[in-house]
Amino acid sequence: MHRWVKSVADIAVIVALVVAAKTAIAEPYYVPSGSMEPTLQIGDELLATKFPYGYSSASLPVFVTLPESSRILGALPHRGDVVVFRWPGDRSQIWVKRVVGLPGDRIEMKDGRLCVNGAEVELTPDGIGQNESEDGSREPVERYIETLPGGRAHTIFKHTTIGQFDNIPELTVPKGHLFVMGDNRDNSADSRVPLDMGGVGLLPVSDLVGRVDALVGSWDLAAKHQPVWEWPAALRLSRFFTTVK
Protein backbone atom coordinates (compact mmCIF):
# COMPACT_ATOMS: atom_id res chain seq x y z
CA MET A 1 0.00 0.00 0.00
CA HIS A 2 2.82 2.38 0.94
CA ARG A 3 4.61 1.72 -2.37
CA TRP A 4 1.38 2.34 -4.32
CA VAL A 5 0.81 5.67 -2.57
CA LYS A 6 4.43 6.68 -3.17
CA SER A 7 4.16 5.83 -6.90
CA VAL A 8 1.00 7.92 -7.26
CA ALA A 9 2.66 10.79 -5.39
CA ASP A 10 5.73 10.60 -7.66
CA ILE A 11 3.56 10.70 -10.76
CA ALA A 12 1.59 13.63 -9.35
CA VAL A 13 4.82 15.54 -8.70
CA ILE A 14 6.05 14.89 -12.25
CA VAL A 15 2.73 16.03 -13.74
CA ALA A 16 2.77 19.15 -11.54
CA LEU A 17 6.33 19.98 -12.64
CA VAL A 18 5.42 19.58 -16.32
CA VAL A 19 2.32 21.78 -15.94
CA ALA A 20 4.35 24.37 -14.02
CA ALA A 21 7.05 24.43 -16.70
CA LYS A 22 4.49 24.77 -19.49
CA THR A 23 2.80 27.58 -17.59
CA ALA A 24 5.86 29.56 -16.50
CA ILE A 25 8.55 28.90 -19.09
CA ALA A 26 7.56 27.66 -22.55
CA GLU A 27 5.18 25.39 -24.43
CA PRO A 28 5.31 23.92 -27.97
CA TYR A 29 2.52 24.43 -30.51
CA TYR A 30 1.93 23.21 -34.05
CA VAL A 31 1.15 25.57 -36.94
CA PRO A 32 -1.97 24.25 -38.74
CA SER A 33 -2.45 26.97 -41.38
CA GLY A 34 -0.52 29.17 -43.77
CA SER A 35 -1.57 32.55 -42.35
CA MET A 36 1.97 33.32 -41.17
CA GLU A 37 3.85 32.19 -44.29
CA PRO A 38 6.64 32.62 -45.16
CA THR A 39 7.81 33.13 -41.55
CA LEU A 40 5.99 30.05 -40.28
CA GLN A 41 5.08 27.09 -42.46
CA ILE A 42 2.26 24.59 -42.09
CA GLY A 43 3.60 21.79 -39.90
CA ASP A 44 6.14 23.88 -38.00
CA GLU A 45 6.40 23.19 -34.27
CA LEU A 46 7.13 26.45 -32.52
CA LEU A 47 8.14 27.22 -28.97
CA ALA A 48 6.21 29.97 -27.18
CA THR A 49 8.26 31.60 -24.41
CA LYS A 50 5.81 32.71 -21.72
CA PHE A 51 7.69 34.94 -19.28
CA PRO A 52 8.36 37.99 -21.55
CA TYR A 53 4.76 39.27 -21.25
CA GLY A 54 3.90 38.11 -17.75
CA TYR A 55 1.22 35.64 -16.76
CA SER A 56 -2.56 35.33 -16.83
CA SER A 57 -5.07 32.52 -17.19
CA ALA A 58 -4.04 32.44 -20.87
CA SER A 59 -0.60 31.22 -19.78
CA LEU A 60 -1.91 27.89 -18.53
CA PRO A 61 -1.22 24.81 -20.69
CA VAL A 62 -3.38 24.63 -23.80
CA PHE A 63 -5.64 21.90 -22.37
CA VAL A 64 -6.65 24.19 -19.48
CA THR A 65 -9.18 26.87 -20.45
CA LEU A 66 -10.23 29.42 -17.85
CA PRO A 67 -11.98 32.81 -18.16
CA GLU A 68 -9.90 35.88 -19.00
CA SER A 69 -7.90 37.34 -16.12
CA SER A 70 -5.56 40.26 -15.47
CA ARG A 71 -1.80 39.77 -15.94
CA ILE A 72 0.90 39.71 -13.30
CA LEU A 73 4.47 40.83 -14.11
CA GLY A 74 2.92 42.04 -17.34
CA ALA A 75 4.84 43.69 -20.17
CA LEU A 76 3.81 44.70 -23.68
CA PRO A 77 5.27 43.06 -26.78
CA HIS A 78 7.47 45.02 -29.15
CA ARG A 79 6.27 45.86 -32.65
CA GLY A 80 7.28 42.96 -34.83
CA ASP A 81 7.05 40.26 -32.16
CA VAL A 82 5.44 37.02 -33.31
CA VAL A 83 3.00 36.07 -30.55
CA VAL A 84 0.87 33.12 -29.57
CA PHE A 85 -2.49 33.94 -28.02
CA ARG A 86 -5.85 32.50 -27.14
CA TRP A 87 -8.41 33.45 -29.77
CA PRO A 88 -10.97 35.77 -28.12
CA GLY A 89 -13.80 33.97 -29.92
CA ASP A 90 -12.93 30.62 -28.31
CA ARG A 91 -10.17 30.66 -25.71
CA SER A 92 -9.52 26.94 -26.17
CA GLN A 93 -8.02 27.79 -29.59
CA ILE A 94 -4.40 28.93 -29.88
CA TRP A 95 -3.52 31.32 -32.74
CA VAL A 96 -0.28 32.95 -33.86
CA LYS A 97 0.20 36.38 -35.52
CA ARG A 98 2.64 39.30 -35.61
CA VAL A 99 2.18 42.45 -33.50
CA VAL A 100 2.16 45.55 -35.72
CA GLY A 101 0.26 47.98 -33.47
CA LEU A 102 0.63 48.79 -29.77
CA PRO A 103 -1.79 50.68 -27.48
CA GLY A 104 -2.08 54.26 -28.71
CA ASP A 105 -0.80 53.50 -32.23
CA ARG A 106 -2.85 54.70 -35.19
CA ILE A 107 -3.23 51.88 -37.72
CA GLU A 108 -4.51 52.16 -41.28
CA MET A 109 -4.39 50.08 -44.46
CA LYS A 110 -4.09 51.95 -47.78
CA ASP A 111 -4.20 49.86 -50.94
CA GLY A 112 -2.54 46.96 -49.15
CA ARG A 113 0.09 49.11 -47.46
CA LEU A 114 0.29 49.17 -43.68
CA CYS A 115 0.44 52.65 -42.14
CA VAL A 116 1.50 53.21 -38.53
CA ASN A 117 0.95 56.61 -36.91
CA GLY A 118 0.32 58.29 -40.23
CA ALA A 119 3.37 56.91 -42.07
CA GLU A 120 3.50 54.06 -44.57
CA VAL A 121 5.85 51.31 -43.44
CA GLU A 122 8.81 50.58 -45.68
CA LEU A 123 8.06 47.80 -48.19
CA THR A 124 10.78 46.37 -50.43
CA PRO A 125 10.17 43.78 -53.21
CA ASP A 126 11.98 40.52 -52.49
CA GLY A 127 11.25 38.29 -55.49
CA ILE A 128 8.79 35.42 -55.66
CA GLY A 129 7.99 32.93 -52.91
CA GLN A 130 5.99 29.72 -52.76
CA ASN A 131 2.70 29.75 -50.89
CA GLU A 132 1.76 26.33 -49.49
CA SER A 133 -1.83 25.25 -48.90
CA GLU A 134 -3.08 22.72 -46.36
CA ASP A 135 -3.34 20.06 -49.09
CA GLY A 136 0.34 20.47 -49.95
CA SER A 137 -0.20 22.35 -53.21
CA ARG A 138 1.99 25.38 -53.92
CA GLU A 139 1.60 28.54 -55.93
CA PRO A 140 3.98 31.42 -56.68
CA VAL A 141 3.36 34.62 -54.74
CA GLU A 142 5.05 38.01 -54.51
CA ARG A 143 7.35 38.40 -51.53
CA TYR A 144 8.27 41.66 -49.77
CA ILE A 145 10.41 42.81 -46.86
CA GLU A 146 8.33 44.96 -44.50
CA THR A 147 10.16 47.17 -41.99
CA LEU A 148 8.13 48.40 -39.03
CA PRO A 149 8.80 51.59 -37.06
CA GLY A 150 11.79 50.85 -34.87
CA GLY A 151 13.57 48.91 -37.60
CA ARG A 152 12.15 45.39 -37.19
CA ALA A 153 12.07 43.77 -40.65
CA HIS A 154 10.27 40.60 -41.72
CA THR A 155 9.09 38.93 -44.91
CA ILE A 156 5.47 38.95 -46.07
CA PHE A 157 3.51 37.39 -48.92
CA LYS A 158 1.09 39.44 -51.06
CA HIS A 159 -1.22 37.57 -53.43
CA THR A 160 -3.29 40.39 -54.91
CA THR A 161 -2.80 44.07 -55.55
CA ILE A 162 -6.01 44.97 -53.71
CA GLY A 163 -7.66 42.42 -51.44
CA GLN A 164 -10.75 42.44 -49.25
CA PHE A 165 -9.00 43.97 -46.23
CA ASP A 166 -6.38 46.07 -48.00
CA ASN A 167 -8.21 49.30 -47.20
CA ILE A 168 -9.34 49.98 -43.64
CA PRO A 169 -9.84 53.43 -42.11
CA GLU A 170 -7.45 54.67 -39.47
CA LEU A 171 -8.14 53.45 -35.96
CA THR A 172 -6.38 53.99 -32.66
CA VAL A 173 -5.43 50.85 -30.76
CA PRO A 174 -7.06 51.18 -27.34
CA LYS A 175 -5.33 50.63 -24.01
CA GLY A 176 -4.89 46.96 -23.16
CA HIS A 177 -5.13 45.83 -26.79
CA LEU A 178 -2.89 45.01 -29.77
CA PHE A 179 -3.24 45.08 -33.54
CA VAL A 180 -1.95 41.81 -35.00
CA MET A 181 -1.56 40.64 -38.59
CA GLY A 182 -0.48 37.51 -40.42
CA ASP A 183 2.56 37.70 -42.69
CA ASN A 184 0.53 36.00 -45.43
CA ARG A 185 -1.43 39.20 -45.89
CA ASP A 186 -4.23 37.96 -48.16
CA ASN A 187 -4.71 34.71 -46.25
CA SER A 188 -5.03 35.78 -42.63
CA ALA A 189 -8.06 36.42 -40.42
CA ASP A 190 -6.36 38.92 -38.11
CA SER A 191 -7.08 42.31 -36.51
CA ARG A 192 -8.37 43.61 -39.84
CA VAL A 193 -11.25 41.13 -39.53
CA PRO A 194 -13.87 41.66 -36.77
CA LEU A 195 -14.29 38.92 -34.20
CA ASP A 196 -17.87 38.26 -35.29
CA MET A 197 -16.59 37.57 -38.82
CA GLY A 198 -14.10 34.96 -37.62
CA GLY A 199 -11.10 37.26 -37.22
CA VAL A 200 -9.18 38.47 -34.20
CA GLY A 201 -10.33 42.07 -34.02
CA LEU A 202 -8.34 44.11 -31.53
CA LEU A 203 -6.52 41.54 -29.41
CA PRO A 204 -6.75 41.92 -25.60
CA VAL A 205 -3.29 41.81 -24.05
CA SER A 206 -4.74 39.47 -21.42
CA ASP A 207 -5.12 36.76 -24.09
CA LEU A 208 -1.38 36.64 -24.83
CA VAL A 209 0.25 33.26 -24.24
CA GLY A 210 3.84 34.05 -25.16
CA ARG A 211 6.44 35.12 -27.70
CA VAL A 212 7.59 32.87 -30.52
CA ASP A 213 11.37 32.75 -30.38
CA ALA A 214 12.25 29.51 -32.14
CA LEU A 215 11.13 26.44 -34.03
CA VAL A 216 11.88 23.06 -32.52
CA GLY A 217 10.84 21.03 -35.54
CA SER A 218 8.93 20.98 -38.81
CA TRP A 219 7.14 18.33 -40.87
CA ASP A 220 5.41 18.72 -44.22
CA LEU A 221 1.84 17.74 -43.30
CA ALA A 222 1.03 16.95 -46.94
CA ALA A 223 3.09 13.78 -46.44
CA LYS A 224 0.30 12.27 -44.35
CA HIS A 225 -1.35 11.36 -47.66
CA GLN A 226 1.76 9.39 -48.68
CA PRO A 227 2.79 5.86 -47.62
CA VAL A 228 4.09 5.81 -44.07
CA TRP A 229 7.61 4.82 -45.15
CA GLU A 230 7.88 8.16 -46.99
CA TRP A 231 7.03 10.23 -43.91
CA PRO A 232 10.62 10.66 -42.66
CA ALA A 233 11.51 12.41 -45.93
CA ALA A 234 8.92 15.07 -45.05
CA LEU A 235 10.93 16.28 -42.07
CA ARG A 236 12.21 19.80 -42.80
CA LEU A 237 15.52 19.37 -41.03
CA SER A 238 16.75 22.81 -42.10
CA ARG A 239 14.02 24.38 -39.95
CA PHE A 240 14.80 22.43 -36.77
CA PHE A 241 16.02 24.63 -33.89
CA THR A 242 15.97 27.86 -35.90
CA THR A 243 15.06 31.32 -34.60
CA VAL A 244 11.91 33.18 -35.64
CA LYS A 245 12.21 36.82 -36.69
Single out the residue of 134, 15, 96 nearest to residue 63, CA to CA: 15
- Catalytic status, residue 245: no
- Among residues 22, 50, 97, 158, which one is catalytic? 97
How distant, in Å, are the alpha carbons of 55, 76, 81, 167 from that of 152?
25, 16, 9, 23
How distant, in Å, are the alpha carbons of 12, 22, 186 from that of 8?
6, 21, 51
- Catalytic status, residue 97: yes
CA distance 207 to 45: 21
Q: Please name the residue ranges forming H helices in 112-244.
A: none
Bin 208: left if φ > 0, else alpha if -120 < ψ < 50, else beta: beta
- Among residues 35, 188, 191, 218, which one is catalytic? 35
- Burial bucket for residue 232 (CB in 10 Å: 0-12, 13-18, 19+): exposed
Catalytic residue numbers, as ranges: 35, 97
